[in-house]
Amino acid sequence: MKAYLDLLEHVLKNGVERDDRTGVGTLSCFGAQTRFDLREGFPLVTTKKLYLRAIIHELLWFLKGDTNTRYLNENRVTIWDEWADENGDLGRVYGAQWTQWRKPDGESINQIDQVIESIRTNPASRRHIVSAWNPGELDQMALPPCHAFFQFYVNEKEGTLSCQLYQRSADLFLGVPFNIASYALLTMMMAQICELKPGEFVHTFGDLHIYKNHLEQVKLQLSREPRPLPTMHLNPERKKITDFIYEDFELRDYDPHPGIKAPIAV
Ligand SMILES: Nc1nc(=O)c2c([nH]1)NC[C@@H]1CN(c3ccc(C(=O)N[C@@H](CCC(=O)O)C(=O)O)cc3)CN21
Ligand SMILES: O=c1ccn([C@H]2C[C@H](O)[C@@H](COP(=O)(O)O)O2)c(=O)[nH]1
């Protein structure tokens, strides 16, 4: 995960001080890109301990089209609690846009099913896209999508599936390690469903920032040596994207440095 540490260094060195919506303040850069070759291991940060449990449950929750924190809380995942209303609702966030994008005629589109179909039937297409950024519904979301738009790419010679994400706003210390692992998992799941092998995850950033109250944590993390990447193994029996359950994911050989606590900017 040297690529991740390089991003931290890049923002520390080149970031400009900016006030932001949360009032915390950031060091920020506009525009950056990293690539993770999923054949080289599973891109889970090793210089602090990450809880994959929350990441897996959040991804399954998106794919179910769920936008209420009940499922997450039942599985002891609290990462969305600060943004939910008293009933646990988050409004028309990721799950709603991915699986029930509303059309003017009252019908809705399951973008995930559509993209699986287009990957299978027209692999060379340049339109394998899922967008969570729905300008017509931003005012109904607890938080406008940060990981906003992604595209798949089939390399037919290699038989691989790659994914590129555009993340408009990125909390580099707390959010980004989650986002990398989440999209790496999604790419692996999609590859299995489409009978391809995972290729690369390309992560493109808009406003890439380190919150000012994360600077000590970032320096501690940069003082640590990255360790070999773990590997991820999915239950090969699953043939539909919504069939996956938590127990289908097995992480092997993860040997991280200790966790580093940091406050989340709300
Ligand atoms: N400022 C901010 N950053 C984010 O990354 C973020 C938001 N807001 N709002 C919406 C979601 C919620 N996300 C979150 C929320 C909390 C953690 C967090 O506290 N992570 C801790 C441990 C969490 C746990 O295991 O329960 C960590 O050390 O990674 C991470 C991502 C990502 N998103
Ligand atoms: O998956 C996520 C979700 C959120 N974030 C971060 C990025 C920003 O720090 C905040 C969102 O604030 P905005 O003012 O809406 O940009 O949450 C993330 O990194 N990853």
In a domain, 77, yes or no: yes
Average pLDDT over residues 228-255: 98
Known catalytic residues? 146
pTM: 0.97
Summarised one tens digit per residue, pLDDT across range 98-138 is 999 999 999 999 999 999 999 999 999 999 999 999 999 99
Number of domains in the chain: 1
d(CA 261, CA 255): 18
Pocket test for ligand 1, best of 178, 179, 218, 257 (most atoms within 8 A of CB): 178
In a domain, 262, yes or no: no
In a domain, 265, yes or no: no
Average pLDDT over residues 250-254: 98
In a domain, 105, yes or no: yes
Residue 53 belongs to what domain range?
Answer: 2-252
In a domain, 144, yes or no: yes
Type of residue found at 140: Q
Separation of CA 110 from chain center: 19
In a domain, 173, yes or no: yes
Distance 165 CA to ligand 2 centre (A): 14
Q: Work out the angle at residue 41's Cα, subtended by the Cα atoms of residues 228 and 75, and round it to the nearest 5 degrees.
A: 95
ipTM: 0.97
Among all ligands shown, which has an atom nearest to the Cα of 221?
1
15 lines ligand 2 (CB under 6 A): no
Mean pLDDT of the chain: 98
Task: Report the nearest atom of ligand 2 relative to the CA of 265.
Answer: 9
In a domain, 259, yes or no: no
In a domain, 263, yes or no: no
CATH of the domain at 228: 3.30.572.10
